[in-house]
């Protein structure tokens, strides 16, 4: 029980450290007269990167195939977020096109993997 608590406190400390190091640096930018986009979106990109690393941990550890398929689905949704976050500061509009295509393609591939898991043919 106490070992569990200690692990929880270590996790909370790590998360707090990350939040401080990521966001406290960017708060002055929010009140700056001329907003500097690039710096803010760099921090956003870092948070999404940490989320992807957590997903990859579950891909490596997942006991069953279903866990890994769930994680691949979630990773697809996170990549759409990446596309939006990159697209604004660089001003390249085609990143969001990649996001739309990735949403639909990830949906189709998840359905195909679920059907495969169920052990059926692809035409129900």
The candidate with the shortest Cα–Cα distance to 95, out of 84, 105, 106, 104, is 84
87 binds another protein (CB under 8 A): yes
Residue 5 engages another protein in binding (rule: CB under 8 A):
yes
40 touches another protein by CB under 8 A: yes
42 binds another protein (CB under 8 A): no
- Return the HEC string of 62-116: CCCHHHHHHHHHHHHHHHHHHHHHHHHHHCCCHHHHHHHHHHHHHHHHHHHHHHH
Q: How far is CA 33 from CA 28, 29, 30, 36, 68, in A?
A: 10, 8, 8, 9, 46
The DSSP symbol for 20 reads: I
Closest approach of another protein to the CB of residue 44, in Å: 6
**Rule CB under 8 A: is residue 47 a binding residue for another protein?**
yes
Within 13 Å of residue 54, how many CA atoms lie on the same side as its CB? 10
Which lies closer to another protein via its Cβ, residue 17 or residue 65? Answer: 65
Candidates 3, 24, 30, 60: give the one binding another protein (CB under 8 A): 30
The yes or no reply on residue 13 touching another protein (CB under 8 A) is: no
- Binding site residues, another protein, CB under 8 A: 4-5, 8, 23, 30, 35, 40, 44, 47-48, 50-52, 54-55, 57-58, 64-67, 69-71, 73-74, 77-78, 80-81, 84-85, 87-88, 93, 96-97, 99-100, 103-104, 106-107, 110-111, 113-119
């Amino acid at each position: 029980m106490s070992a569990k608590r200690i692990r929880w406190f270590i996790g909370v400390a790590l998360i707090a450290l990350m939040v401080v190091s990521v966001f406290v640096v960017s708060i002055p930018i929010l009140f700056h007269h001329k907003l500097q986009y690039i710096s803010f979106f760099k921090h956003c990109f870092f948070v999404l990167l940490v989320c992807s690393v957590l997903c990859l941990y579950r891909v490596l550890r997942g006991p069953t195939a279903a866990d890994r398929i769930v994680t691949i689905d979630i990773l697809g949704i996170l990549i759409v977020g990446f596309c939006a976050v990159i697209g604004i500061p660089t001003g390249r509009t085609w990143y969001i096109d990649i996001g739309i295509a990735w949403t639909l393609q990830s949906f189709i591939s998840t359905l195909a993997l679920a059907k495969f898991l169920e052990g059926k043919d692809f035409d129900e």
